[in-house]
């Protein structure tokens, strides 16, 4: 693709140019499902794409963290200069001398004593990856199926949960809760590049993708290891590549005789014959398969999926991959989905509400903040708590969350009052109440009340989710 040398008047002009080219790529990919794009590398090195990529990397919270070269985004702005940095990166890309540096590996503690390994790339590599993603994403978005929701534009966790709720309320009562073991660490490079090759014919782009996959890992003890499989978790390009790899599962279910491609007549016929119908809902490497049939049907489908994932070098975790009835309930993406009898009636409905693990996590954060230094004024504590609680309640208000919010209100009040008592050990409770109020406040800052957030229903959008590119379906 001939990009020319546009004179950019600023970031707005660059974003407008990138959006126009992305819309063209998405339209061409949608019109011809078998088209291979042979000239994409010029776009990766295009000044507009690099400027937008820099803006996204700079605006990310991780910009404050350096890679193996020790350079942060602030260092590049203050010392090297953004314009010179992007010109140098562009020159390296066009001259084919760009070589990604190893990612810096850091262990992030998980619940249960386990750790998740995060790969921190250099700022230079992050900008190149972001530019590459801007080019590849509209192409592969034309192929991704509606059942996939993770790390895709205009899609969110609530859509995935709403889809499970939708089908569980319509006779799909058996749920296969899928957990892929170390997904980002075990994806086969050859199988992944094979799927990328189906859409990308530009050898320079393929070589760049392979270079990022093979960049290596620098461990915390200074040991440098090669990467023969997987894509570093935390990389800008990894979510897109993982969706490309896991789309093999989406396609297998979509092409199945009882999958979403079956007509209503065919699904009814299969039910009469005692055969299962099924629907997949996937958010990155977390997925649920809703089955309208028996537990034996769900177990058989789980075994078939095991074979499909093996083609990408992936395997299911035997301990975490479960077959559950909707009456027993399941935890999915921080939500609890379970069928209960409606109070006061004999009817049963599927309800969605925050999972106990999500509630325990926010309680732990509240407790941690309230255990910090009591020498600070109350307003500082309230500001931090309010910021966290507003985000948590905004996420979990799309469900049957009123009871959870009321419980959280009580827990929050007790923790803040105990903080006040530790701060003023010799002050009676009545005096503290007159100073800070029954509901804690300090000056113009008042403690956020979770119980005042009204829960609402998140409506299932199905296949009606629009793409971010104008003029495309």
- Furthest CA-CA distance within the chain: 76
Output helix, strand, coil percentages for the chain, rounded to the nearest 5. Answer: 50, 15, 35
- Across residues 333-350, what is the average pLDDT? 95
Asked if 357 contacts 210 with a C-beta cutoff of 8 angstroms, the reply is: no
- Across residues 260-276, what is the average pLDDT? 95
- Across residues 281-309, what is the average pLDDT? 96
- Residue 409, pLDDT score: 97
Of the CA atoms within 13 Å of residue 55, those in its CB half-sphere come to 14
- Residue 2, pLDDT score: 56
Residue % of the chain over a pLDDT of 90 = 82
- Across residues 106-110, what is the average pLDDT? 82
- Across residues 347-371, what is the average pLDDT? 96
Residue % of the chain over a pLDDT of 70 = 97
Q: What digits encode the pLDDT tens for the residues 414-468? A: 999 999 999 999 999 899 999 999 999 998 999 999 999 999 999 999 888 998 9
Q: What number of other Cβ atoms are within 10 A of residue 188's Cβ?
A: 17
Closest CA relative to residue 231, chosen from 248, 245, 249, 250? 245
Residue 288: phi and psi, rounded to 5, are: -130, 140
In terms of pLDDT, which residue wins out, 263 or 111? 263
Q: What digits encode the pLDDT tens for the residues 158-212? A: 999 999 999 999 999 999 999 898 888 899 999 999 999 999 999 999 999 999 9
- Across residues 77-81, what is the average pLDDT? 93
Q: How far apart are CA 350 and CA 313, in angstroms?
A: 35
Q: How far apart are CA 167 and CA 165, in angstroms?
A: 6
Residue 441: phi and psi, rounded to 5, are: -155, 155
pTM for the full model?
0.92
- Across residues 333-349, what is the average pLDDT? 95
Query: What angle do helix axes 402-423 and 429-436 make, rounded to 10 degrees?
Result: 110
Q: What number of other Cβ atoms are within 10 A of residue 102's Cβ?
A: 21
Q: How confident is the model at residue 471 (pLDDT cuts 50, 70, 90)?
A: low
Does 373 score more than 80 pLDDT? yes
Q: Which residues contact 32 (CB under 8 A, 6 or more apart)?
A: none
- Residue 8, pLDDT score: 44
Q: What digits encode the pLDDT tens for the residues 215-262? A: 998 888 888 888 888 888 888 999 999 999 999 999 999 999 999 999
Q: How far apart are CA 170 and CA 162, in angstroms?
A: 13
Q: What number of other Cβ atoms are within 10 A of residue 428's Cβ?
A: 10
Closest CA relative to residue 288, chosen from 300, 296, 298, 297? 298
Q: What digits encode the pLDDT tens for the residues 217-227? A: 888 888 888 88
- The partner residues of 163 in beta bridges, in order of sequence, read none
Does 399 score more than 50 pLDDT? yes
Asked if 226 contacts 216 with a C-beta cutoff of 8 angstroms, the reply is: yes
- Across residues 86-115, what is the average pLDDT? 89
- Across residues 25-38, what is the average pLDDT? 95
For the record, the structure tokens of 328 come out as 């027993």
Q: What is the 3-state secondary structure (H, E, C) of 42-108?
A: HHHCCHHHHHHHHHHHHHCHHHHCCCCCCCCHHHHHHHHCHHHHHHHHHHHHHCCCCCCCCEEEEEE
CA 274 to chain centre: 37
Q: How far apart are CA 269 and CA 287, in angstroms?
A: 27
- Residue 463, pLDDT score: 83
């Amino acid at each position: 693709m001939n990009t020319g040398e546009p004179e950019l008047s600023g970031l707005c002009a660059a974003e407008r140019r990138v959006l126009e080219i992305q819309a063209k790529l998405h339209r061409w990919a949608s019109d011809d499902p078998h088209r291979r794009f042979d000239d994409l590398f010029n776009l990766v090195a295009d000044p507009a794409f690099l400027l937008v990529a820099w803006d996204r990397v700079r605006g990310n919270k991780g910009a404050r963290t350096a890679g193996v070269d020790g350079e942060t985004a602030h260092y590049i702005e203050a010392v090297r200069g953004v314009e010179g940095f992007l010109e140098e990166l562009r020159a390296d890309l066009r001259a084919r001398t760009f070589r990604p540096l190893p990612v810096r590996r850091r262990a992030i503690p998980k619940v249960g004593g386990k750790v998740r390994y995060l790969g921190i790339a250099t700022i230079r590599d992050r900008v190149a990856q972001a530019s590459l993603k801007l080019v590849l994403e509209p192409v592969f978005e034309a192929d991704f199926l509606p059942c996939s929701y993770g790390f895709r534009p205009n899609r969110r966790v609530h859509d995935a949960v709403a889809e499970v709720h939708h089908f569980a309320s319509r006779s799909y009562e058996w749920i296969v809760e899928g957990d892929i073991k170390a997904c980002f660490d075990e994806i086969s490079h050859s199988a992944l590049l094979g799927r990328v090759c189906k859409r990308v014919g530009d050898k320079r782009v393929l070589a760049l993708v392979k270079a990022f996959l093979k960049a290596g890992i620098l461990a915390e003890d200074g040991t440098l290891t090669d990467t023969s499989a997987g894509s570093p978790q935390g990389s800008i390009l990894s979510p897109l590549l993982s969706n490309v790899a896991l789309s093999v599962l989406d396609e297998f279910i979509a092409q199945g005789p009882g999958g979403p491609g079956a007509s209503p007549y065919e699904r009814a016929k299969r039910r009469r014959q005692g055969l299962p119908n099924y629907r997949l809902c996937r958010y990155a490497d977390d997925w649920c398969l809703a089955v309208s049939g028996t537990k034996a049907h769900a177990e058989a489908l789980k075994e078939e999926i095991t074979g499909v994932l093996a083609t990408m070098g992936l395997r299911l975790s035997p301990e975490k991959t479960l077959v559950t009835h909707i009456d027993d309930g399941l935890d999915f993406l921080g939500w609890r989905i379970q069928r209960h009898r409606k109070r006061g009636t004999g009817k049963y409905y599927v309800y969605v509400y925050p999972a106990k693990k999500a509630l325990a996590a926010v309680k732990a954060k509240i407790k941690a903040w309230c255990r910090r230094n009591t020498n600070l004024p109350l307003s500082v504590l309230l500001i931090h708590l309010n910021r966290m609680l507003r985000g948590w309640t905004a996420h979990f208000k799309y469900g049957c969350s009123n009871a959870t919010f009321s419980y959280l209100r009580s827990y929050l009040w007790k923790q803040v009052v105990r903080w006040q008592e530790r701060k003023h050990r010799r002050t009676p409770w009545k005096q503290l109440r007159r100073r800070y109020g029954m509901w804690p406040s300090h000056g113009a800052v008042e403690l956020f009340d979770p119980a005042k957030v009204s829960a609402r229903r998140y409506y299932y959008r199905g296949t009606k989710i629009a793409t971010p590119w104008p003029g495309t379906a």
